[in-house]
Amino acid sequence: MSETLRAHYPHKDNGRGDLRGLGRTAWGRLRFYARFAWRFVVLRQPDPLIYGIAITDRCNLACRGCRVSNTGRPDMTWDRLVDTLQDAWRRGFRELYFSGGEPMLWRDGGHTLEEAIAEARRIGLFHVHVYTNGTLGLDTSADLVWVSVDGLPGTFELRRGDHFHRVERAVRQGRHPKVAVIYVIDRNTADGIEPFLRWVLETKFPVIGVMFYFHTPYYGRDELFLTAEERAPIIDRLLGCLRAGLPMLNSRAGLRALRSGDWPRRLPVAYVADVDGESVCCRASDNVCVDCGYAACTELTEFQRLRPSAVLGMTRYW
């Protein structure tokens, strides 16, 4: 990993004092977010907020276009995980997500992902999200589960393999109170957007909505990559889906920023750690930023710009 990606936040609480007890109450969280919003939106000071942990690189799938799974690197140990969580909390991070690989596979001795979620809450993290492919079920106490579903059968398997119905069953039968879909748009999945959204709506698929990302070429542009010129008409279609009332989580403002490219890369409010260390925003190298397709980044940017659709959208999944 490039040294330019290493985090350099000093190990201190950024003047917040001990908010651990306050964070366990709605009033304490409101105080934290009021202060964060003032510094982030008004003073333009990007204090730390969101921390991600890629807890394992192991995955039970071999999705096309994925280069961050099954790399042979070891899993994060329990002791390392606890130290990482405590350090993130001390530095001011309050929102957490676990990813992979497939985080449901993670074990260290008798420790499981569920214990990691419980430990994060004990330490004082406000919310815990999990990103999963959904094939191992959704049996988790995470506040929100993001499930990768890139289209209906005929489209889904072009990226993920022949697992659509297994994932659908997990979402429908799991009865987790808050599930969202991540749909990655690439050259093979772009045509499946509208049929998938209509299916989600018409079949009452039990999710809060669908967040669309674009395929990001971690290790160089490949056959799945869509250029900015190719993405633009697709984003126009997504805006049309929003106007039609289809169940999307992307905001109008976020999509417009994604289309224009008018948003800063390497958002310092978000960090991610893995067994090798820590990175700002994501684990990719700097030269990938120009092709970034992570729509969550534009949502954060437009929230800072106080775009009403982005501010409203953030309340749905944080």
Residue-wise pLDDT tens digits, 54-68 = 999 999 999 998 877
pLDDT at 248 over 80: yes
Q: In terms of Cα–Cα distance, which of 140, 141, 159, 139 is closest to 149?
A: 159
* 203 within domain boundaries: yes
Bridge partners (DSSP) of residue 179 are: 145
Where in the sequence is the domain holding 199, given as residue range(s)? Answer: 3-7+37-317
pLDDT at 175 over 90: no
| Tens digit of each residue's pLDDT (9 = 90 or more) over 124-159 | 999 999 999 999 999 999 999 999 999 999 999 999
* 14 within domain boundaries: no
* 253 within domain boundaries: yes
> Residue 26 has what pLDDT?
82
pLDDT at 43 over 70: yes
Which CATH number fits the domain that encloses residue 302? 3.20.20.70
Question: pTM for the full model?
Answer: 0.90
* 20 within domain boundaries: no
Separation between Cα atoms, residue 90 and residue 18, nearest integer Å: 9
Rounded mean pLDDT of the chain?
A: 90
Q: How far is CA 7 from the centre of its chain?
A: 19
* 23 within domain boundaries: no
CA–CA distances in Å: residue 265 to residues 223, 248, 282, 294 = 24, 23, 10, 10
Return the minimum-mean-pLDDT range out of 2-6, 232-236, 274-278, 298-302: 2-6
For the chain, the domain total comes to 1
The answer to whether residues 146 and 110 touch, using CB atoms and an 8 Å cutoff, is: no
Q: In terms of Cα–Cα distance, which of 97, 126, 96 is closest to 22?
A: 126
Separation between Cα atoms, residue 186 and residue 189, nearest integer Å: 5
| Tens digit of each residue's pLDDT (9 = 90 or more) over 211-220 | 999 999 988 8
* 44 within domain boundaries: yes
Return the minimum-mean-pLDDT range out of 41-45, 227-231, 238-242: 41-45
Phi (first) and psi of residue 179, to 5 degrees: -130, 140
* 47 within domain boundaries: yes
* 30 within domain boundaries: no
Q: Could you give the 3-state DSSP secondary structure of residue 277?
A: strand
